Structure 1
Amino acid sequence: MQRYSDWRDLPTAARGATVALGNFDGVHRGHALLLASAHAARPDAPLAALTFEPHPRELFRPDDPPFRLSLPSARAEALGALGVQHVIEVKFDRTFSLLTADEFITQVLHQGLGALHLASGPDFAFGHRRGGDVSLLSARAEALGMGLTIVPPLADTRGPISSTRIRRALQDGYPERATDDLGHPWSIRGIVSHGDALGRTIGFPTANIPLGPQLEPARGVYAVTVPIDGRLVYGVANIGRRPTVAEGAISRVEVHLFDYAGDLYGQQLDVAVLHFLRAERRFAGLPELKAQIALDAAEARRLLGN
């Protein structure tokens, strides 16, 4: 899988592809269906995904709380795992946002990517002020010699699967629902940074990871897994602002890993959030907090089968 940050001057190998269109935040089961349908339409062509970086919402609504389900690197890896050979992360800035819908089709998809075939969901909107829809895309693609597959959203008894629905499930404290919709556990990716070492002093050392632009789920304690050096390590994590010891303005992830004693500072970890144990709350002091963490760890071990 290759990543490109510009739709202009793409290498020959990335042109003439079947191109799936969307933001692909989280790369959920609906996205997997879109990609499979794109490949099935033209199995003779390379499979590419065109997405936007940053997410358009970050440009137009910069004061919104962080909402991403996946960072660009994680998104690209997930797309690659589903067979995408080329990920084109179009730079979404003010200049690009002013392209008309027709200019997006003609200049980006046809001339820039040389797309052989396109695939999108029925609600795909594009161009200045979201002026283009799939009806326009269909007409212009046909005129320019590009095929088009419109893939209906994947749905279940709760309705269509979407990134919005997954965000809501995580914010409501239901990571199991997010796992079902994603087809894999939702993970928080980040670099382990130095904290205040308080966990170590009470017998529960933690790896501290900033949330950054990623979604903050319901604040509280979770059973988690973390792949490290080829094996899956179980653990318990607090996601929130630590009201008992030093409540801050920014939430972070503190992961206590079971039966692991390695040095993780500076390493990138993917913390898979599996089960919500309890809401974050303030305790009377460190002894009470320590006792509760022991209970949380025991419950996490039970839920994870360890």
Structure 2
Amino acid sequence: MGHTMMLRVQEVTRFPGDLKGGVVAIGNFDGVHRGHQAVLAQALDAARAENLAASVLTFEPHPRTVFRPDEPVSRITPAPMKATILGHLGFDAVVEQPFNRAFSSQSAGEFVSGILCGCLGVRHVITGYDFHFGKGREGNPDYLTQAGERHGFSVTLVEQFSDEGGNVVSSSRIRQALAQGDVSEAASLLGYRYAVTAEVTHGKKLGRTLGYPTANMALPPETNLMPGIYAVRFRRSNGILHDGVASFGRRPTVDDDGAALLLETYLFDFAGDLYGETCTVSLVSYLRGEEKFEGLDPLIAQMRSDEADARAVLAGIKPVSPLDATLTFETVT
């Protein structure tokens, strides 16, 4: 699974001519989980069989966030992370179509003739069995298939994908697992280890004085990961990997309530400055919940114990898939 340079197109009207006439997978694909990967694999197979370009049409922000702005969706894979994963899978381009009220009020016919035929020139569309589009969700799979017959493109609808236990793999199940700190369940549904990406910012520098300097990353307020301590793998912006232990939450021992959600990672066997770097942290194992300690000595003792636990966990981890091998184990720049 090599890293390919993939094009990120911010607007479907700017889709490059040399990629037109290809295979396009359509969906939100938040999480790019194993169910999504089943859809995407069919698109890649179809593109390779006919020697065509393979692209993904997705929507930003998540449509649910547009319709219910007071309940923003906790994204499993924000756009840059999604693009990274799609690139590793082998796609040539992803269109991150801005989704807003105006776009959502297009009719299904306008979506087919303007976007699929006009901007993308699709030869083959691959999407999930329940894909709806156009104003009032008037476009459904049957509509799309018939439109393809009229306009000269073929449509493949991919059935729901179930895990080994016979349960459908869904983004909501993954969000639920993360909310419970069950990162191993999330990884088995995603087909790779859940990760977050953010810029390393200046903190209160308290960790340094305790002998545990941390790389601090502020995560979006809607992040619904369970607060606690995690064994992690940390990828620097230059692609180099480090093992570490991270605390996610609002820092009950040293901060007041209402503080921002922070992920603070102590990197093992590392000395250096990470400020301003955009880094990615893959969560490997949940070690324990957040605790409030009476003073700093018990906190330091607990941090030593957390470090030992995390080193033990990380010493034995193996990739859960070829994609995970690339994302969590290989130094890729």
Matched residues in 1 for 2:73 and 2:156: separation? Answer: 32
Deviation at 1:35, TM superposition (A): 1.4
The residue number in structure 1 matching 2:161 is 154
The residue number in structure 1 matching 2:220 is 212
Contact residue 224 and residue 235 of structure 1 kept, 8 A: yes
**Mind listing any 5+ residue stretches in structure 1 that lack a counterpart?**
none
The residue number in structure 2 matching 1:132 is 139
The residue number in structure 2 matching 1:74 is 81
Q: Secondary structure at the match of 1:155?
A: coil
User: For structure 1, which segment, 56-65 or 265-274, has the greater mean C-alpha deviation from structure 2 after superposition?
Assistant: 56-65
The residue number in structure 2 matching 1:271 is 281
C-alpha change, 1:29 and 1:139, in structure 2 (3 Å) is same
Corresponding position: 1:297 with 2:307: yes
Contact residue 216 and residue 251 of structure 1 kept, 8 A: no
Corresponding position: 1:88 with 2:95: yes
The residue number in structure 2 matching 1:58 is 65
Contact residue 200 and residue 277 of structure 2 kept, 8 A: yes
Deviation at 1:65, TM superposition (A): 5.0
Number of equivalenced pairs: 306
C-alpha change, 1:111 and 1:200, in structure 2 (3 Å) is same
Q: Give deviations 1:59-104, integer Å, cap 9, x for gaps.
A: 1122225500112111111101111101111111121011122221
- Residues 161-240 of structure 1: pairs in structure 2 closer than 5 A: 161-212=169-220, 215-228=223-236, 229-240=238-249
Q: Give deviations 1:225-261, integer Å, cap 9, x for gaps.
A: 0123444211110111011111334211000111111
TM-score by length of 1: 0.95
Matched residues in 1 for 2:138 and 2:180: separation? Answer: 33
Q: Secondary structure at the match of 1:52?
A: strand
Matched residues in 2 for 1:141 and 1:215: separation? Answer: 39
Matched residues in 2 for 1:129 and 1:249: separation? Answer: 40
The residue number in structure 2 matching 1:5 is 10
Deviation at 1:46, TM superposition (A): 0.6
Contact residue 226 and residue 234 of structure 1 kept, 8 A: yes
Contact residue 167 and residue 215 of structure 1 kept, 8 A: no
Q: Which amino acid letter does the alignment assign opposite residue 57 of structure 1?
A: R
Matched residues in 2 for 1:86 and 1:101: separation? Answer: 23
Matched residues in 2 for 1:125 and 1:3: separation? Answer: 24
Q: Give deviations 1:189-219, integer Å, cap 9, x for gaps.
A: 0000000011111111100001126733111
C-alpha change, 1:42 and 1:257, in structure 2 (3 Å) is closer
The residue number in structure 1 matching 2:320 is none
- Residues 25-64 of structure 1: pairs in structure 2 closer than 5 A: 25-43=30-48, 44-64=51-71
Corresponding position: 1:244 with 2:253: yes
Contact residue 65 and residue 72 of structure 2 kept, 8 A: no
Q: Secondary structure at the match of 2:76?
A: coil
Deviation at 1:158, TM superposition (A): 5.0
TM-score by length of 2: 0.88
User: For structure 1, which segment, 34-43 or 294-303, has the greater mean C-alpha deviation from structure 2 after superposition?
Assistant: 34-43
Q: Give deviations 1:89-134, integer Å, cap 9, x for gaps.
A: 1111121011122221221111121111000011112112323221
Matched residues in 2 for 1:62 and 1:246: separation? Answer: 29
Q: Secondary structure at the match of 2:313?
A: helix
User: For structure 1, which segment, 42-51 or 268-277, has the greater mean C-alpha deviation from structure 2 after superposition?
Assistant: 42-51
Contact residue 208 and residue 252 of structure 1 kept, 8 A: yes
Q: Secondary structure at the match of 2:12?
A: coil
Contact residue 44 and residue 91 of structure 2 kept, 8 A: no
Deviation at 1:45, TM superposition (A): 1.3
Matched residues in 2 for 1:54 and 1:149: separation? Answer: 25
